[in-house]
Each structure stands twice: as C-alpha cells, then as structure tokens.
C-alpha cells in the first residue's frame, strides 16, 4: 500500500506524505538524527539526508522536503496556509514530555508570524496497543494533566492504555494551532501489513518516513 495523505494539507496544496512500509522516500529528503528530545533543526538549503540531532525539523528551502521517521511514535506534519515554510515533528512519549510539539510550532510561528497553522497527525500506535507504566505517565503529566487524563484508560495496577495521538493533538491545540487533523484507523501495531511497529515487531523493525515540502510557488 502506498503512502497516506492528509486531506487538510492537500487542500492547501502542501506536498507531503505519511509513509507506509512500501513508500519510497522523496528525492532530496533531509531529516534529523532523532534522539527523543525537543530540539528543532532548520533546513534552508539542499544537502545531505542526515542533519544534526533533533526531533523536529523546519523546512524553508523551496522544493526541499524535510521529514522524520517513526515506528509507533507520532508523526506530525505542519504548514501555514501559504505553505512556504513547513515542519515535521517526531512525537514519542519522551519528546512529547520534553515539549517537542510546542517547540516545533513555536519555530514555525517565528518563520511565519500571524499565519494560520494547519497540522496533520499520521499513523501511530493506538491506545489499543500502547500500554504504559507510571514513569511514562508521570513524565507526561506536567504538560497538561487534564489532556493526559482524557488520553488514558486504566489497565493493570500502575499501568494505563495511552493514546499518544490525543496527547499530540492536545499539545497542538495548546500551542494555538488552528486546524488539526488526525488520520483515523491507523494503529501501527494493529496493521503491520502496512506499517512498521516496534511494539509489535521489536526494535529492529524498519522505520516509516513522513515528509512535507515547502512549495516553491508560495515563497
Ligand atoms: Zn492497535
């Protein structure tokens, strides 16, 4: 099955894709070495695929796609309506606890002040398959206790099922992102025919590449 697209981002003409197992990377893709933190790296020109360490990447070079990889974590692609500067964010629980979504949105706003920002949340592990323990919940709680409570369902003692997509959406809304779209029915662990999943397949599985590209005609 080929890559997935966000109707919201497509509606404003922003080139992008959420990867599946079979999807081919776009030519010229640039992406950070991901370390589950909240740093943002900015791409202003074409160059080598791998950038420095970061978990959000801002792209402002016309026609040069920027991306991140995941295998259960949450991919978020962002663009202002004009599409002249874009961002991709890797949201695992550690990065979300560190504020990576907020950092990515803030960086985008500095590049495109006053613009309406659109965000799409792609394939990620669903609450059906993502049971976490107290240290994970404790790390996330300080960001937004109410949003975390709404995203969790108690399971065994000291554990809960966690909806990382909902946690990411709450972070986008808190950051003032005007439009947020969650791709539905895309649990990476439930559907390993289409997606790579660390939970379902172990850490050595592949990674899905998700990318977004600033539009040359918009800049
Ligand atoms: Zn699932």
Q: How far is the CA of 131 from the centre of ligand 1 (A)?
A: 10
- Is the pLDDT at 158 greater than 50? The verdict is yes
Residue 142 confidence (pLDDT) above 70: yes
Q: Do the domain assignments include residue 70?
A: yes
Contact 165, 126 (CB under 8 A): yes
CATH number at residue 103: 3.60.140.10
- Which residue bears the tokens 């919201």? 8
Give the Å distance between the CA of 14 and the centre of ligand 1: 29
Q: What is the pLDDT of residue 2?
A: 83
Quote the mean pLDDT of the chain: 95
Mean pLDDT of all residues in 198-210: 97
CA distance 151 to 80: 27
133 in a structural domain:
no
At residue 83, does pLDDT exceed 70?
yes
Would you state the structure tokens that stand for residue 3, as one six-digit string?
Answer: 């890559």
**CA separation for the pair 167, 40 (Å, rounded):** 19
Q: What is the mean pLDDT of residues 105-117?
A: 95
Gap from CA of 25 to ligand 1 centroid (Å)? 25
Q: What's the 199 CA to ligand 1 centre distance in angstroms?
A: 10
Reply yes or no on whether the pLDDT at 218 is more than 60: no
Residue 219: its pLDDT value, please?
43
Q: Compute, in angstroms, the gap from residue 70 CA to the centroid of ligand 1.
A: 15
Would residue 153 count as lying in a domain? Answer: no
* Residue 1: predicted pLDDT: 52
Using the mean position of ligand 1's atoms as its centre, give its distance from the Cα of residue 128 in Å.
4
Residue 142 lies in a domain: no
Has residue 216 got a pLDDT over 80?
Answer: no
Domain count, the chain: 1
* Domain limits for position 18: 7-125+165-218
Distance 44 CA to ligand 1 centre (A): 37
Q: Tell me whether residue 149 is in a domain.
A: no
Contacts of 200 (CB under 8 A, 6+ apart): 129, 188, 189, 190, 192
pLDDT for 157 equals: 94
Q: 155 CB contacts (<8 Å, ≥6 apart)?
A: 131, 161
Q: What is the pLDDT of residues 2-46, one digit of tens each?
A: 899 999 999 999 999 999 999 999 999 999 999 999 999 999 999
pLDDT over 90 percentage in the chain: 95
């Amino acid at each position: 099955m080929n890559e997935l697209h966000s109707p919201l981002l497509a509606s404003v003409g922003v080139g992008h894709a959420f990867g599946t197992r079979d999807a081919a990377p776009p030519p010229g893709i640039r992406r950070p070495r991901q370390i589950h933190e909240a740093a943002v790296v900015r791409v202003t020109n074409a160059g080598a695929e791998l950038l420095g360490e970061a978990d959000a990447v801002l792209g402002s070079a016309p026609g040069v796609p920027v991306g991140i990889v995941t295998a259960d974590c949450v991919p978020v692609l962002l663009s202002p309506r004009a599409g002249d500067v874009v961002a991709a964010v890797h949201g695992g629980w550690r990065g979300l606890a560190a504020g990576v979504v907020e950092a990515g949105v803030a960086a985008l706003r500095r590049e495109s002040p006053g613009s309406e920002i659109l965000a799409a949340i792609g394939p990620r592990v669903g609450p059906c398959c993502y049971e976490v323990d107290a240290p994970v919940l404790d790390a996330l709680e300080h960001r937004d206790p109410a949003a975390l409570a709404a995203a969790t369902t108690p399971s065994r003692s000291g554990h809960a099922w966690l909806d990382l997509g909902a946690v990411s959406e709450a972070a986008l809304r808190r950051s003032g992102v005007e439009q947020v779209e969650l791709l539905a029915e895309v649990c990476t662990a439930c559907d390993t025919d289409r997606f790579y999943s660390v939970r379902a397949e172990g850490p050595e599985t592949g990674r899905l590449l998700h990318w977004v590209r600033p539009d040359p005609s918009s800049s």
